[in-house]
Amino acid sequence: MATLTMVQAVNDALKVAMRRDKGVLVFGEDVGPKGGVFLATEGLTKEFGKQRCFDTPLSEDGIVGTAIGMALNGLKPVAEIQFQDFIFPAFDQIVSEAAKFRYRSGGQYTVPMVIRTPYGGGIRGGLYHSQSGEAYFCHTPGLKVVIPSTPEDAKGLLLASIEDPDPVIFMEPKALYRTTKSEVPEGYYTTPLSTLRTARTGKDVTVFCYGAMVPVCLKAAEQAAEKGIDCLVVDLRTLLPLDEEGVLEAARQTGRVVIVHEAPRFCGFGGEISAMIAENIIEYMEAPVARVTGFDTPFPNTLEHHYMPDARRVLDAIEHVHGY
Amino acid sequence: MSALELQSVIAPDGSAAGHDPRLCAEGLLHCYRTMLLVRAFDDVALKLQRSGRIGFSIPNKGVEACQVGAASALETTDWVFPSYRDFGVALYHGVTPTEMMHNMFGNDRDSARGRQMPVHFSFDKPIRFVSISSPLGTQIPQAVGAAYAMKLRGEKHVALVSFGDGSTSTLGFHSGMNFAGVWKAPVVFLCQNNGYAISCPVEEQTASESFAIKAKAYGMPGVRVDGNDLLAMRQATAQAVARARRGDGPTLIEAVTFRMGGHSTSDDPTRYVPKELVESWAKKDPVARFERYLASRQLWTKEQGEALYAAAVEQVNAAVREAEATPPPKLESIFTDIYASVPAHLRRQGQAAFELAARKGDAGAGAGKFPL
């Protein structure tokens, strides 16, 4: 085991995958000799050559469109979109093409590829280096949407995504790239998609979260524990397809639920969790569901710490549903 | 001759004005029969749509030589990324009218199991004729990616991507051409300039002096070809394919042609195409022109042509009988092929739909379980 940051774990996963399978290719903007703007692809061109890890012209549509063609023709592309905020020129390729090839060809043509993209705030990136766009992709049947919150999961989930036969949007919480460190197993292993991780056990309130919100919620849970409130913190890890049974089970355990995400609230992923609970297990609920989310505004720069949910806001919601 | 002058082989009178490749009789007749099959499929599909037996079709009249000429320069190990007006390429390489007709009826034997509109074909044999989507230009960078894979593995295959004049305005055209130029990918870009993007004429699509000249900016050769001249199309495509196989990179071919029908069966071109324009292009009909060439080679008479066309119509009618008698897809098909395996939430949604169908006595509901 080595102690790695999340970005080092991503880098390790890419190296392991590329050593294991010659068909795995990594490309995008500045991912070659520079090693990516966050250094997630550092050393790949040197080790695997520029046929397998290379810079592309500056076009997200081209990156994803060509990745689809490679995947159709037997390769395993792992394309990087430098910031999730820049993915929208490729939205047509992702939503109309990658997500639908299997369906529209009756399985004749499939797109086993991964799009890695850093998302979320916390780096003073303003409107266009901070957004959390997971809901756009979760609304698209045919895609998988995966968001790790620990270095160990970042590696295991990325390797599972590369192995997966369907297109995966792999969103990396850039705020955690260097702020989290953990033991990461060496070599090849996968963490199964569509499974939850219990980040903290508890019996009073269930907190659902993912990505960069997981450490925030754990901190809030510690503060809640000091006040005698015992929180179960669930890291969703894969948003689509979601482990719905696991979510309902975790909600039933406490009957009190807080859902936390950075993305705007309206039509956000928290709304889906809330609706699932209302539709399936309302009789187990002791309190209305509470959501702690980004505001329904663009992402601000100077005041980003007010926009992003922090432990203070999460704790407030925990206390609210606990005292209901 | 400059690359941007219109290249042609067959003169309007049928004589070979350009370099005549002197193809063998069987090769020429295969091209001819394929063009007739495209035309027969079109005619039959139009009647089916007008009589309400299918919902939609896309006519190909006028552009048959582009499709078949280009197809004749490909091997079945090459890949085709088609638009929705390209099925002559599939027919040339042996896809049958029956397979196509299953798609037109959206039945259970359609490769896409009725999930797509008619004419959105997908075939993976005898040639890779990649699943067609409605958004324009998206197939262009995909073809470049598939070609990159060929190059990486050292294969000598090519990807031919076909699109219309309207698609040259899309993001996909720019990124696909740009990536292919930078990567020297083995791609043939076939732009069928058929005069109109639905109702928008080419002069409202681009201020460029031609579509072919756009190749220059991407670092690849561009050629303008008489798209109603099958032999010219074959020759230009063969040159581009040979260049790609040699490892010298992509080529853009602009095939200058004309769409003699509407954009689709939902379109009325008389609202926007001047009558005189249609009449002038009618004289350049690609099938008639090829017939005159065949006649000059003693390979065609009017009677033989009529008999071959009647045989093509009968082949398509037989396909209609088979497709129309094939049942619609089972209800399960809504929930399968979204992922490699059916995830839990789709399984639940499917079960609910099956139970509702069973309660309501819906005879078309299918087996009520996933075929897993």
Q: Are B127 and B137 in contact (CB under 8 A)?
A: no
- Pick from A132, A163, A184: which residue ends a domain? A184
The verdict on A172 and A23 lying in the same domain is: yes
Residue B203 CB neighbour total at 10 angstroms: 7
Farthest CA pair distance, chain B: 72
Question: Interior CA angle at A255 toward A250 and A260, to 5°?
Answer: 65
Question: Interior CA angle at A97 toward B188 and B164, to 5°?
Answer: 40
Residue A103 C-alpha, separation from nearest chain B C-alpha, in angstroms: 5
On chain B, the residues whose CB falls within 8 A of the CB of A65 are 138, 140-142, 144-145, 172, 175-176
For residue A55, list its beta bridge partners: A28
Q: Are the beta carbons of A92 and B131 separated by less than 8 Å?
A: no
d(CA A248, CA A250): 5
Question: Which residue in B33, B93, B128, B259 is the catalytic one?
Answer: B259
Is the bond leading into B201 cis (omega within 30 degrees of zero)? no
The verdict on A203 and A262 lying in the same domain is: yes
On chain A, the residues whose CB falls within 8 A of the CB of B122 are 104-106, 108-109
DSSP tag of B123: B
Question: How far is C-alpha A241 from the chain's CA centre?
Answer: 13
In 3D, which of B178, B110, B112 has the Cα closest to residue B141? B178
At B94 the three-state DSSP class reads: coil
- And the tokens for B319? 């396909």
Question: Which residue in A129, A139, A261, A320 is the catalytic one?
Answer: A129
Host H or E run for residue B202: none
Segment A238-248, tens digit of pLDDT = 999 999 999 99
User: What's the Cα-to-Cα distance from A20 to each of A183, A184, A189, B146, B220, rounded to whole Å?
Assistant: 22, 18, 12, 22, 36
Residue A309 C-alpha, separation from nearest chain B C-alpha, in angstroms: 29
Within 8 A by CB and 6+ apart from A201, the residues are A232
Segment A209-221, tens digit of pLDDT = 999 999 999 999 9
Looking at the domain covering B6-324, what would its CATH class be? alpha beta
Domain with residue A33: its CATH number is 3.40.50.970
Size of chain A in residues: 324
Q: Are the beta carbons of B337 and A103 separated by less than 8 Å?
A: yes
The verdict on A153 and A216 lying in the same domain is: no
Q: Are the beta carbons of B182 and A77 separated by less than 8 Å?
A: no
Q: Are the beta carbons of B79 and A73 separated by less than 8 Å?
A: yes
- Please state whether the predicted TM-score (pTM) of the whole model is above 0.90: yes
The verdict on A12 and A82 lying in the same domain is: yes
Which residue of B148, B174, B335 is the best one to mutate when testing the A interface, meaning the one whose CB has the most A CBs within 10 A?
Answer: B148
The verdict on A155 and A203 lying in the same domain is: no
The verdict on A205 and A63 lying in the same domain is: no
On chain B, the residues whose CB falls within 8 A of the CB of A101 are 131
Instruction: Give the per-residue pLDDT at B364.
Output: 57
In 3D, which of B119, B127, B12 has the Cα closest to residue B70? B127
* Top-confidence residue, A62 or B4: A62
Query: Is A189 a member of any domain?
Result: no
Domain with residue A275: its CATH number is 3.40.50.920
Q: What are phi and psi of B177, to 5 degrees?
A: -65, -40
Is the bond leading into B371 cis (omega within 30 degrees of zero)? no
Using the Cα atoms of residue A203, residue A206, residue A207 and residue A210 in order, give the sign of their dihedral: positive
Host H or E run for residue B172: helix B171-183
Q: Are the beta carbons of A107 and B337 separated by less than 8 Å?
A: yes
Q: Are the beta carbons of A105 and B131 separated by less than 8 Å?
A: yes
Q: What's the 3-state SS for chain A?
A: CEEEEHHHHHHHHHHHHHHHCCCEEEEECCCCCCCCCCCCCCCHHHHHCCCCEEECCCCHHHHHHHHHHHHHCCCEEEEECCCHHHCHHHHHHHHHHHCCHHHHCCCCCCCCCEEEEEECCCCCCHHHCCCCCHHHHHCCCCCEEECCCCHHHHHHHHHHHHHCCCCEEEEEEHHHCCCCEEEECCCCCCCCCCCCEEEECCCCEEEEECCCHHHHHHHHHHHHHHCCCCEEEEECCEEECCCHHHHHHHHHHHCCEEEEEEEECCCCHHHHHHHHHHHHCHHHCCCCCEEEEECCCCCCCCCHHHHCCCHHHHHHHHHHHHHC
Domain that residue A260 falls in: 197-323
Which residue of B339, B341, B346 is the best one to mutate when testing the A interface, meaning the one whose CB has the most A CBs within 10 A?
Answer: B339
Residue B135 C-alpha, separation from nearest chain A C-alpha, in angstroms: 8
Nearest residue on chain B to A99, judged by CA atoms? B338
Q: Is A279 exposed, middle or buried (0-12, 13-18, 19+ CB in 10 A)?
A: exposed
Q: Are the beta carbons of B172 and A241 separated by less than 8 Å?
A: no
d(CA A36, CA B347): 40
d(CA B353, CA A14): 41
Instruction: Give the per-residue pLDDT at B12.
Output: 87
How much is the average pLDDT of A10-30? Answer: 98
Q: In this model, does residue A147 exceed pLDDT 90?
A: yes
Tell me whether residue B263 is one of the annotated catalytic residues. Answer: yes
d(CA B162, CA B144): 12
User: What's the Cα-to-Cα distance from A120 to each of A38, A171, A210, A277, A297, rounded to whole Å?
Assistant: 14, 9, 11, 26, 14
Within 8 A by CB and 6+ apart from A141, the residues are A99, A103, B338
Q: Are the beta carbons of B123 and A108 separated by less than 8 Å?
A: yes
Q: Are the beta carbons of A62 and B178 separated by less than 8 Å?
A: yes
Question: Which residue in B263, B289, B293, B309 is the catalytic one?
Answer: B263
Tell me whether residue A322 is one of the annotated catalytic residues. Answer: no
Which ipTM score applies to this complex?
A: 0.96
Query: Is A234 a member of any domain?
Result: yes
On chain A, the residues whose CB falls within 8 A of the CB of B111 are 105-106, 108
Q: Is A59 exposed, middle or buried (0-12, 13-18, 19+ CB in 10 A)?
A: buried
On chain A, the residues whose CB falls within 8 A of the CB of B344 are 194, 241, 243-245
The verdict on A80 and A208 lying in the same domain is: no
Segment A99-126, tens digit of pLDDT = 999 999 999 999 999 999 999 999 999 9
d(CA B69, CA B32): 10
Query: Is A68 a member of any domain?
Result: yes
Within 8 A by CB and 6+ apart from B232, the residues are B7, B8, B9, B10, B18, B69, B225, B226
Query: Is A289 a member of any domain?
Result: yes
Q: Are A14 and A41 in contact (CB under 8 A)?
A: yes
Q: Are the beta carbons of B338 and A97 separated by less than 8 Å?
A: no
Q: Where are the domains of chain B?
A: 6-324, 331-365
d(CA A106, CA B337): 6
Q: Exposure string (b/e) for B245-281, b if CB count within 10 Å is 16 or more? A: beeebbbbbbbbbbbbbbbbbebebeeebeeeebeeb
Residue B339 C-alpha, separation from nearest chain A C-alpha, in angstroms: 6
Within 8 A by CB and 6+ apart from A289, the residues are A257, A258, A259, A273, A274, A277, A278, A321
For residue A234, list its beta bridge partners: A198, A208
How much is the average pLDDT of A286-301? Answer: 98
Query: Is A25 a member of any domain?
Result: yes
Q: What are phi and psi of B89, to 5 degrees?
A: -65, -40
On chain B, the residues whose CB falls within 8 A of the CB of A245 are 344
DSSP tag of B211: S
d(CA B23, CA A99): 43
The verdict on A171 and A27 lying in the same domain is: yes
Q: Are the beta carbons of A57 and B116 separated by less than 8 Å?
A: no
Residue A304 C-alpha, separation from nearest chain B C-alpha, in angstroms: 33
The verdict on A129 and A13 lying in the same domain is: yes
Q: Is B324 exposed, middle or buried (0-12, 13-18, 19+ CB in 10 A)?
A: middle
Residue B329 C-alpha, separation from nearest chain A C-alpha, in angstroms: 12
d(CA A39, CA A28): 13
Q: In this model, does residue A92 exceed pLDDT 60?
A: yes
Instruction: Give the per-residue pLDDT at B372.
Output: 34
**Could you give the number of structural domains in chain A?**
2
Q: What are phi and psi of B11, to 5 degrees?
A: -70, 160
E-strand ranges in chain B read: 6-7, 79-81, 128-129, 159-164, 187-193, 196-197, 200-201, 222-226, 251-256
Q: Are the beta carbons of A72 and B124 separated by less than 8 Å?
A: no
The verdict on A201 and A180 lying in the same domain is: no
Which residue of A91, A108, A163 is the best one to mutate when testing the B interface, meaning the one whose CB has the most B CBs within 10 A?
Answer: A108
d(CA A157, CA A185): 13
Instruction: Give the per-residue pLDDT at B361.
Output: 74
Residue B20 CB neighbour total at 10 angstroms: 15
Angle between helices B97-105 and B25-50 (to 10 degrees): 20
Residue A132 C-alpha, separation from nearest chain B C-alpha, in angstroms: 24
Q: Which of B133, B159, B179 sits opposite A104 (nearest CB)?
A: B133
d(CA B51, CA B226): 35
Instruction: Give the per-residue pLDDT at B22.
Output: 86
Mean pLDDT of chain A: 98
Per-residue pLDDT of chain B (372 residues; tens, 9 = 90+): 566 899 999 998 899 888 888 899 999 999 999 999 999 999 999 999 999 999 999 999 999 999 999 999 999 999 999 999 999 999 999 999 999 999 999 999 999 999 999 999 999 999 999 999 999 999 999 999 999 999 999 999 999 999 999 999 999 999 999 999 999 999 999 999 999 999 999 999 999 999 999 999 999 999 999 999 999 999 999 999 999 999 999 999 999 999 999 999 999 999 999 999 999 999 999 999 999 999 999 999 999 999 999 999 999 999 999 999 999 999 999 999 999 999 999 999 999 988 888 887 765 555 555 443
